């Protein structure tokens, strides 16, 4: 037996006994996972060159159609191998070297894409911490002054909808394009519970397909604009720039997940937001510092604990000792436990345990109890597994 096989088994045993609250991750249905290990994992898709294409082209086209329907977008590109590559593709397609690109600074929770090697110039959108969002008035001034070619909305730390309409209005005046990086909230957008960037004026919606969108690790790009679609095609298609083989097994799993979201996405996304608020409320009631009570704490899957880098690391480590997994942010995300079917009663108990540990209780005291809760969550809800 290969050592790695053993390690995978141990990993799966371990993670199966953990409650995962990392907001960047999720779990696929078994139906979608099967696509990943199907024969498609071995294959190429270039139809004019390779034989054996009898079903492959149809799988890709069906996935495009499901994504188009789900996001009401004329063009859907499932090719990007990650959220990062979807963003990079859009940047390369829609800007030139020395262009300015307006982004949310990583200091304010923006995604830390490094524009320097691309020879693009970042300008940072003014941000108002008291509303955890872009300061729209100041951002409009900045955009008028700096005239960026692209404006990227969306964030890694995201609680509330982005001001897409206001920013898109001003972008039209200076002929900039608006990209909405929905990596974190794509599943909530698909479930129609967050905001609808393409209807609010964004030219492109893109992002990861494995955070709130409960699909395979990968990326997607969506647009309604013919010209933009042509430019994106040149970056994600053939002849290759960033992607040659887009991994057909991943595309198939993405298509299956899109179908699940068409069927169950609304209820899933609604539950994700309600459960995030529920955890926040429980923590708040027990005296833990969580901001934005007046705004119901969050409109997304995330809630944030007030920390600095040092205390964030300690919190993450302490919680993991009790088999509760978070990042050092500390961000807590409800999406995976919703997919795993946690009940409201179990959710409240997990929040209670988090609170007790944050207040200094010994984590190991709760390990068995958390493991027991986690080990019961082994069916994927809001998925095609239910109907198979």
Residue numbers at the binding site for ligand PLP (CB under 6 A) = 24, 82-84, 87, 111, 154-156, 181, 183-184, 208, 219
Q: How far is CA 25 from CA 51, 158, 216, 269, 334, in A?
A: 36, 15, 10, 15, 10
> Strand, coil or helix: what is 220?
strand
- Least distance in Å: CB of 66 to ligand PLP? 20
CB closer to ligand PLP out of 79 and 181: 181
Which tokens belong to 210?
A: 């494995």
For residue 97, give the nearest of 115, 76, 79 by alpha carbon. Answer: 115
Cα three-residue angle 278-160-169, rounded to 5 degrees: 160
Strand partners for 19:
324
CB closer to ligand PLP out of 128 and 327: 327
Return d(Cα 53, Cα 62) in angstroms, integer. Answer: 14
- Contact (CB, 8 A) for 210 and 216: yes
CB closer to ligand PLP out of 83 and 363: 83
Q: Dihedrals φ, ψ of 121, to 5°?
A: -105, 115
C-alpha dihedral sign at 248, 249, 253, 259: positive
CB closer to ligand PLP out of 125 and 342: 125
- Least distance in Å: CB of 207 to ligand PLP? 6
Chain residue at closest Cβ approach to ligand PLP = 83
- Least distance in Å: CB of 150 to ligand PLP? 14
- Contact (CB, 8 A) for 378 and 30: no
Strand partners for 177:
150
- Least distance in Å: CB of 221 to ligand PLP? 12
- Least distance in Å: CB of 144 to ligand PLP? 25
CB closer to ligand PLP out of 84 and 328: 84
- Least distance in Å: CB of 80 to ligand PLP? 9
Return d(Cα 75, Cα 204) in angstroms, integer. Answer: 10
CB closer to ligand PLP out of 118 and 348: 118
CA 33 to chain CA centroid, Å, is 18
CB closer to ligand PLP out of 84 and 105: 84
- Least distance in Å: CB of 252 to ligand PLP? 18
- Least distance in Å: CB of 50 to ligand PLP? 27
Count of CB atoms situated within 10 Å of the CB of 300? 27
CB closer to ligand PLP out of 109 and 363: 109
Return d(Cα 260, Cα 250) in angstroms, integer. Answer: 15
């Amino acid at each position: 037996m290969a050592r790695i096989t053993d390690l995978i088994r141990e990993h799966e045993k371990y993670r199966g006994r953990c409650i995962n609250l990392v907001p960047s991750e999720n779990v696929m249905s078994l139906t979608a996972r099967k696509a990943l290990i199907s024969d498609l994992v071995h294959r190429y898709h270039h139809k004019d060159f390779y034989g054996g294409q009898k079903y492959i082209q149809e799988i890709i086209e069906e996935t495009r159609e499901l994504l188009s329907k789900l996001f009401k977008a004329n063009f859907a590109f499932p090719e990007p191998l990650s959220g990062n590559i979807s963003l990079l593709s859009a940047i390369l397609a829609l800007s030139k070297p020395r262009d300015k690109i307006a982004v949310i600074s990583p200091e304010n929770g923006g995604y830390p894409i490094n524009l320097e090697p691309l020879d693009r110039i970042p300008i940072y959108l003014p941000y108002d911490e008291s509303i955890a969002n872009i300061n729209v008035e100041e951002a409009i001034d900045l955009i008028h002054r700096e005239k960026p070619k692209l404006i990227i909305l969306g964030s890694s730390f995201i609680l509330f909808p982005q001001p897409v309409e206001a920013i898109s209005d001003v972008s039209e005046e200076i002929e900039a394009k608006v990209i909405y990086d929905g990596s974190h909230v794509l599943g909530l957008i698909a479930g129609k519970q967050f905001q609808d960037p393409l209807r609010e004026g964004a030219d492109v919606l893109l992002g990861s397909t494995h955070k709130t969108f409960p699909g395979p690790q990968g990326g997607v790009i969506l647009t309604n604009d013919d010209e933009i679609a042509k430019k994106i095609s040149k970056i994600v298609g053939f002849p290759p720039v960033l992607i040659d083989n887009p991994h057909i097994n991943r595309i198939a799993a993405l298509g299956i997940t899109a179908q699940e979201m068409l069927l169950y996405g609304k209820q899933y996304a609604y539950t994700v937001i309600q459960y995030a608020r529920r955890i926040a409320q429980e923590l708040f009631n027990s005296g833990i510092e969580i901001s934005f009570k007046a705004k119901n704490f969050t409109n997304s899957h995330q809630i944030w604990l007030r920390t600095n880098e040092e205390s964030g690391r300690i919190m993450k480590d302490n919680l993991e000792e009790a088999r509760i997994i978070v990042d050092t942010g500390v961000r807590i995300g409800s999406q995976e436990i919703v997919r795993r079917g946690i009940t409201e009663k179990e959710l409240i108990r997990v929040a209670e345990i988090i609170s007790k540990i944050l207040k200094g209780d010994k984590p190991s005291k709760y390990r068995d109890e958390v493991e027991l809760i986690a080990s019961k969550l082994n069916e994927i809800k809001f998925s095609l597994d239910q109907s198979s």
